[in-house]
Amino acid sequence: MDILSEFFERTHLQGRLFFAGPVDGTLLLDKPPGMAFIHVVSRGGIDMVQPGLPKIAISEPSLLFCPSSCRYQLRSSTPGGAELICASFQFGRNALQPFPLGLKETLVFPFRELEHLTPLLDTLMGEFQGQAPGRTKALNLLFEYLFVRLVRRSVLEGRISSGLLYALQDGRLGSVFNAIHQQPEALWTVEKLAQLANMSRSKFSACFTRVMDISPMGYVTAWRMKLAQDLLREGVQIKVIATTVGYSSQASFSRTFLNVVGCPPAEWLKRDASGEEPAPITARVQRDDSINR
């Protein structure tokens, strides 16, 4: 089984174009939590400015792969500004956040180092510059494909070495996540999971916690609650959900859901059904000649 694809399907990876155009000044982003970003710098120079860190200067056509935790501004650094295409990536709606992706800092990929992606980038740029019907949907799908390709490359090059995107492709841990995802109702223990990884209990627990920043059983619980949220949205009865995700009674499931999510299942469903969508991303260009570059 392709476990990385299975994860993206189960978490409903969604790529969305949210800004495209010239930047002659500073691009200010209001970013909701829980999202990653790709910025395509197709023309001109950009400085990525982060509080307390040296600026990152991009002086050639490049892709920027950015985690949601990264606080930054994008400032044009060349006369005439720069041309950007920006997309956000979200995993589900109102999802729990116990699944660190392992993308801790912005990764910069110059176009000249992405020869194998030239056809994809050409297609993306052509779709962006055209006005054919379905343009927005096509761009979103192309960005999702680009996201997957960048994840593969980042793990292969060691630029992502922890978190779920890394662990799913790890030979020792991949089988563990596959089993948890396919059989959330199983009576999992650390010992059983360690056997799947062909590791001792102590070595497995230390390795899992180091990579994921959450204990093995903590991840099992978090994944079960994530599936429970999906089933609640689908209208499945709570007593059925409890059995489906591995709890012997509705009461024990509800207690765990309350502890993890912060409210009982029925109350959470009402809040979710009320249409509380994540805040939209806003982006605007600020002209400020006084900025010290």
Given a contact cutoff of 8 angstroms between Cβ atoms, the answer to whether 67 and 105 are in contact is yes
Nearby residues of 75 by Cβ (< 8 Å), 6 or more positions away: 25, 26, 27, 46, 47, 49, 291, 293
In a domain, 291, yes or no: no
Q: Is the pTM of this model over 0.85?
A: no
Given a contact cutoff of 8 angstroms between Cβ atoms, the answer to whether 50 and 101 are in contact is no
* Shared domain check, 146 and 82: yes
What distances in angstroms separate CA 293 from CA 27, 44, 50, 106, one per listed residue? 14, 15, 13, 20
**pLDDT at site 47:** 93
Task: Show the domain range for 54.
Answer: 13-160+280-286
**Tally of structural domains, the chain:** 2
In a domain, 268, yes or no: no
* Shared domain check, 174 and 144: no
pLDDT band with cut points at 50, 70 and 90 for residue 199: very high
Q: Domain holding 247: CATH number?
A: 1.10.10.60
* Shared domain check, 187 and 132: no
* Shared domain check, 135 and 33: yes
In a domain, 3, yes or no: no
Res 290 pLDDT > 50: no
pLDDT band with cut points at 50, 70 and 90 for residue 288: low
Tell me what the mean pLDDT of segment 179-189 comes to.
Answer: 94
* Shared domain check, 219 and 118: no
pLDDT (tens digit per residue) in 15-26: 888 888 899 999
Q: Domain holding 152: CATH number?
A: 2.60.120.10
Res 109 pLDDT > 60: yes
* Shared domain check, 190 and 228: yes
**pLDDT at site 190:** 97
**pLDDT at site 276:** 52
